[in-house]
């Protein structure tokens, strides 16, 4: 009963925000002036324990993609692609003797080392609340003049994102509607149709993952990047304001559909979620195996790298089927 009252209060809060914000404006957190994680505050020790107690299988679904040279990237915006290089090789160690231990030791003990360089918004990653803002501010009114230094944001950096344990729900739109055309904008009606076909209901605090089918082309970067379908503003408003979801994710490059549906904002879904509502989301998920096995409800467990001050961080989420009959 107590948990139900909390969920109802959260829903009423989001509905209040929806009424009060007729124009795009940065949201103030109901969790206080120092809040940096937005709706992830909906998680509690009790809610996490409840999810873990309902795990019904040892089968685990890896919801992340591989990182490799040539993988999809935002190079068109000037961001660096994924680079990998070897810093040490077994034979090179013998030749260079960097450890000073000599040929005999280096022939006996092989040594391989490597390094990477990449844009933080590549592969499966979660966007932090500082990624996009409105009118010079980010979530909770933080400004770059006060909180953005040479080494990143002092507020809402990726290091503040906690480990996530929550009920996860797959909305397999590509299965419910069939293959989605290029640039298709998923609507709230599409989501409701998908829920009806799957026989699933959303609950406040859920993690909702939307399958567009785009992950099927992830190894083929030009195809993956080519006019992909995505989520529309109407759909995310329905999820946030009417369903009280905690976290979102999708299997496409940049979550929302392009070209933008507003002339005055080139990423209206991003700014609505991150700056106005404090809702983070995960991009470039791999949802094909969940779809194949028709696993629509699961324990969602994920943690991201603690990249201090960053606007995003790589993440490796997993899904474990839950017993929903209890």
- Strands 281-283, 247-250: pairing is parallel
* Residue 180 confidence (pLDDT): 97
To the question of domain 2-71+120-321 being in CATH 3.50.30.50, the answer is yes
The pLDDT-based confidence of 75 (bands split at 50, 70, 90) is confident
Q: Tell me which residue has tokens 């995003």.
A: 312
pLDDT tens, position by position, 146-202: 999 999 999 999 999 999 999 999 999 999 999 999 999 999 999 999 999 999 999
Nearest to 68 by CA among 184, 203, 221, 171: 221
pLDDT tens, position by position, 243-283: 999 999 999 999 999 999 999 999 999 999 999 999 999 99
* Residue 9 confidence (pLDDT): 47
**Percentage of the chain with pLDDT > 70?**
92
Q: Tell me which residue has tokens 């929550």.
A: 166
pLDDT tens, position by position, 131-142: 999 999 999 999
Query: Where exactly does CATH 3.50.30.50 map onto the chain?
Result: 2-71+120-321
93-101 long-range Cβ contacts below 8 angstroms, 24+ apart: none
Give me 37's structure tokens: 């994680």
Whether 20 shows a pLDDT value over 70: the answer reads no
Query: What pTM does this model have?
Result: 0.91
Region 77-92: what's the mean pLDDT? 95
* Residue 289 confidence (pLDDT): 98
The pLDDT-based confidence of 16 (bands split at 50, 70, 90) is very low
The per-residue pLDDT of the chain, averaged, comes to: 93
The pLDDT-based confidence of 7 (bands split at 50, 70, 90) is low
319, 290 in Cβ contact below 8 A? yes
221: part of which helix (H) or strand (E)?
helix 221-225
* Residue 12 confidence (pLDDT): 47
Q: How far apart are CA 311 and CA 127, in angstroms?
A: 6
């Amino acid at each position: 009963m107590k948990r139900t009252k909390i969920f109802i209060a959260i829903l009423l809060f989001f509905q209040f925000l929806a009424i009060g914000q007729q124009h795009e404006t940065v949201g103030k957190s109901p969790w206080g002036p120092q809040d940096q994680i937005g709706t992830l505050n909906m998680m509690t020790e009790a809610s996490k324990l409840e999810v873990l107690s309902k795990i019904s299988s040892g089968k685990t679904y890896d919801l992340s993609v591989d990182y490799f040279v040539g993988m999809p990237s935002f190079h068109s915006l000037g961001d660096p692609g994924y680079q990998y290089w070897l810093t040490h090789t077994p034979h090179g160690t013998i030749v260079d003797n960097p450890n000073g231990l000599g040929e005999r030791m280096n022939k006996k003990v092989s040594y391989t080392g490597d390094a990477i360089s990449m844009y933080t918004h590549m592969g499966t990653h979660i966007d932090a609340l500082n990624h996009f803002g409105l009118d010079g501010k980010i979530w909770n009114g933080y400004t770059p003049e006060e909180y953005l230094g040479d080494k990143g944001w002092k507020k809402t950096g990726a290091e503040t994102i906690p480990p996530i344990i929550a009920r996860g729900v797959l909305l397999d739109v590509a299965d419910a509607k069939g293959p989605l055309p290029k640039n298709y904008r998923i609507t709230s009606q599409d989501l409701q149709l998908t829920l009806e076909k799957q026989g699933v209901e959303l609950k406040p605090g859920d993690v909702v993952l939307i399958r567009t089918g785009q992950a099927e082309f992830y190894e083929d970067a030009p195809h993956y990047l080519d006019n992909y379908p995505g989520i529309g503003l109407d759909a995310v408003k329905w999820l946030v304001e009417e369903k009280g979801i905690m976290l979102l994710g999708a299997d496409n490059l940049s979550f929302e559909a392009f070209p933008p549906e507003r002339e005055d904002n080139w990423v209206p879904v991003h700014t609505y979620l991150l700056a106005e509502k404090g809702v983070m989301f995960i991009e470039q998920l791999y949802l094909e195996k969940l779809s194949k096995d028709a696993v629509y409800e699961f324990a969602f467990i994920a943690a991201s790298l603690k990249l201090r001050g960053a606007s995003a961080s790589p993440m490796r989420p997993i899904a474990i089927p839950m017993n929903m009959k209890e």
